[in-house]
A and B are shown apart, each in its own frame.
Chain A
Amino acid sequence: MRSIAVDEGRGVNARALVVSDLVVAYKPGQPVLKGVTITFNGRGMTAVIGPSGTGKSTLIRTINRLVEPTSGQVLFLGRDMARVKGRTLREMRSRIGMVFQEFNLVERLSVMENLLCGRLGFVPAWRTWLRRFPESDIARAFDLLDAVGLREFATQRADALSGGQRQRVGIARALMQEPALLLADEPTSSLDPKTSVEIMELMTSLARRNDVPVIVNMHDVELAKRFAERIIGLSGGTVVFDGPPGALKDEHLKQIYGGEGWL
């Protein structure tokens, strides 16, 4: 595991992520994010909650630049993710793992190959073409498969797995990158409630064991309160709540989601 300098003194470590004045507009003049400023201190799990279409996904995807920001900054590891290009962008992405709502596994590849996808930022194409990954990568993949309990599925094709199993592979793939930050975009939305809890437990424990900060996006408030150490409420493209789960009261939820009949 890469060692990362930790500056405990300021309460913010080297893996801190600073989003400032972030504006994202898919159509000119109709911003989804209207100037979001958040400092993630590079530790533990932060959950971003909010109603659908409020820009949760956009926020997460702007962090690893799957979405182009319109203006603002995303500072991470000393670089502005909103500005980097080409090789630097790829290097930055390789340090950020991502877990997707619909798992996004490469269906026709084996589970092992899907895990090795996590190393694609580090291994040149001629080696990946021949599937000649470094031995350490293969060993790490088997370790992670053990950790997510899918060792015996290594050679099975990803499309043969159930939803929960796929998301386990998704998490393992993200951790294969040895990321300095783990992003999760609605990781449990395509799963049943029991599997959702299992996946969140797995993700939390693995992130803790690998010492990776997590930013997770979810609409399930209870799940967010149960697993996250900090909750950020987004509504209408701006931050309306930022604090520990204990501080999240009904009036905040009313503000975030609007109305109260559902409470």
Chain B
Amino acid sequence: MTAVAKAPAWERFTPRERFARFTVYLLTVAAVVTSLRTVEVIPEFLYDAPEQMMDLFRRMWPMDVGHYPQAIHAALVETIHIATLGTILSVLLALPIGVMAAGNVTPYPALNFIAKLLLVSSRSVNSLVWALVFVAVFGPGPLAGVFAIAFRSIGFVGKLFGEVLEEAHRGAIEALTAAGAPWVSVLRMGYWPQVKPAFWSIVMFRWDINVRESAVLGLVGAGGIGVVLDTALNLFHWDRVAMTLASIFGVVIFAEIVVTAIRRRVL
């Protein structure tokens, strides 16, 4: 093979790409280094951690199984109700906002923007923080929990639902619009059949997440199993804490199995 006069250099990226990547790397390193240097961490605590952990597990074992019928069971049922009612409420609230956020259904940029702002706000505030707000509103108890779950889920359900709507095929909708169908009918007959499977899938997915989330709401007084956990923690009843954690684990697995089963059968 005859060699080319001078082997040309080969570069993987254009200068612009290289600059962008370099900026990302630099920012990452800068962020990590700055954080490491400024964060208030006492290294001794970290060295001590394994020992403390072992101590914790020794206190947890054996678990206080008797605590389950006494307090845990009722609280677990309450947790599932909070998650379910919260999900239902969030769907009721999220549907109109999702419709409003979908640019193809609601062709008003101002409304789209307001809807998206609502959705981002809902998602940005953690469910525990929402729980604090609603405990202040309704007082401690499961009512606050239901609302906390609902308000945190609006952003999730609304965003995903809006995206599904935006991906809907135009054909059926154009046909209905051309036939002079009113707005509500277009939604009901044109969009709904298309987005229905995705909608149920989103709802199930969120319910699964909500079961996990509602398990901790009790830490701030919003009902459910978290209340039992909080009491046990405050009284240093580690064997009860362990039993509660095991029960939460069981419920989370239960929720996942339910969702998988429903998905397989219905969707």
A141 at the B interface (CB under 8 A): yes
Point out the residues of chain A lying under 8 angstroms from B3, CB to CB. 139, 143
For chain A, the count of residues having a C-beta within 8 Å of the partner chain is: 18
- Tell me which residues from 1 to 21 in chain B have a Cβ below 8 Å from any Cβ of chain A: 1-4, 7-12
A154 at the B interface (CB under 8 A): yes
> Are B12's CB and A113's CB within 8 A?
yes
Q: Which of A131, A146, A209 contacts B12 (CB 8 A)?
A: A131
CB distance from B187 to the nearest CB of A (A): 39
Q: A116's closest neighbor in chain B, by CB? A: B10
> Are B4's CB and A146's CB within 8 A?
yes
Point out the residues of chain A lying under 8 angstroms from B11, CB to CB. 155
Point out the residues of chain B lying under 8 angstroms from A146, CB to CB. 4
> Are B1's CB and A112's CB within 8 A?
no
> Are A143's CB and B1's CB within 8 A?
yes
CB distance from A117 to the nearest CB of B (A): 14
A88 at the B interface (CB under 8 A): no
A137 to B227, CA, bound (A): 66
Point out the residues of chain B lying under 8 angstroms from A142, CB to CB. 4, 7-8, 10
A139 to B7, CA, bound (A): 5
Q: B7's closest neighbor in chain A, by CB? A: A139
A142 to B2, CA, bound (A): 11
A147 at the B interface (CB under 8 A): yes
CB distance from B234 to the nearest CB of A (A): 51
User: What are the interface flags for A121-152 relative to B under an 8 Å C-beta threshold, 1 for contact and 0 otherwise?
Assistant: 00000000001000100111111101100000
A151 to B214, CA, bound (A): 60
User: What are the interface flags for A149-161 relative to B under an 8 Å C-beta threshold, 1 for contact and 0 otherwise?
Assistant: 0000011000000
A210 to B1, CA, bound (A): 8
A141 to B8, CA, bound (A): 10
A112 to B10, CA, bound (A): 8
> Are A110's CB and B7's CB within 8 A?
no
Given contacts A138-B7, A139-B7, contact A110 B1 (CB under 8 A): no
Interface size class of B (residues with CB under 8 A): 10 to 19
A146 to B8, CA, bound (A): 12
Point out the residues of chain A lying under 8 angstroms from B12, CB to CB. 110, 113, 131
Q: A131's closest neighbor in chain B, by CB? A: B12
> Are A143's CB and B4's CB within 8 A?
yes
Q: A130's closest neighbor in chain B, by CB? A: B12
CB distance from B6 to the nearest CB of A (A): 9
Point out the residues of chain B lying under 8 angstroms from A210, CB to CB. 1
A3 to B1, CA, bound (A): 14
> Are A147's CB and B1's CB within 8 A?
yes
Point out the residues of chain B lying under 8 angstroms from A139, CB to CB. 3-4, 7
A209 to B1, CA, bound (A): 8
> Are A141's CB and B1's CB within 8 A?
no
Q: A138's closest neighbor in chain B, by CB? A: B10
Q: Which of A141, A144, A147, A209 contacts B10 (CB 8 A)?
A: A141
Q: A139's closest neighbor in chain B, by CB? A: B7
Central interface residue in B2, B7, B8, B11, by most chain A CB within 10 Å: B7
A91 to B190, CA, bound (A): 61
Q: A113's closest neighbor in chain B, by CB? A: B12
A131 to B21, CA, bound (A): 15
CB distance from A217 to the nearest CB of B (A): 26
CB distance from B150 to the nearest CB of A (A): 42
Point out the residues of chain B lying under 8 angstroms from A112, CB to CB. 10
CB distance from B180 to the nearest CB of A (A): 45
Q: A146's closest neighbor in chain B, by CB? A: B4
Point out the residues of chain B lying under 8 angstroms from A209, CB to CB. 1
Point out the residues of chain A lying under 8 angstroms from B2, CB to CB. 143
CB distance from B21 to the nearest CB of A (A): 12
CB distance from A154 to the nearest CB of B (A): 7
CB distance from A209 to the nearest CB of B (A): 7
Point out the residues of chain A lying under 8 angstroms from B8, CB to CB. 142
User: What are the interface flags for A90-114 relative to B under an 8 Å C-beta threshold, 1 for contact and 0 otherwise?
Assistant: 0000000000000000000010110
CB distance from A263 to the nearest CB of B (A): 42
A147 to B3, CA, bound (A): 11
**Nearest 10 A/B pairs, CB to CB:** A139-B7, A143-B1, A131-B12, A138-B10, A112-B10, A142-B4, A138-B7, A135-B7, A142-B8, A142-B7
Residues of A within 8 A of B (CB): 110, 112-113, 131, 135, 138-144, 146-147, 154-155, 209-210
In the assembled complex, 15 residue pairs joining A and B whose CB atoms fall closer than 8 Å, in A order, are: A113-B12, A135-B7, A138-B9, A138-B10, A139-B3, A142-B8, A142-B10, A143-B2, A143-B3, A143-B4, A144-B1, A147-B1, A154-B10, A209-B1, A210-B1
Q: A143-B2, A143-B4 are in contact. List 18 more A-B contacts (CB 8 A).
A: A110-B12, A131-B12, A135-B7, A138-B7, A138-B9, A138-B10, A139-B4, A140-B1, A142-B4, A142-B7, A142-B8, A142-B10, A143-B3, A144-B1, A146-B4, A147-B1, A155-B11, A209-B1
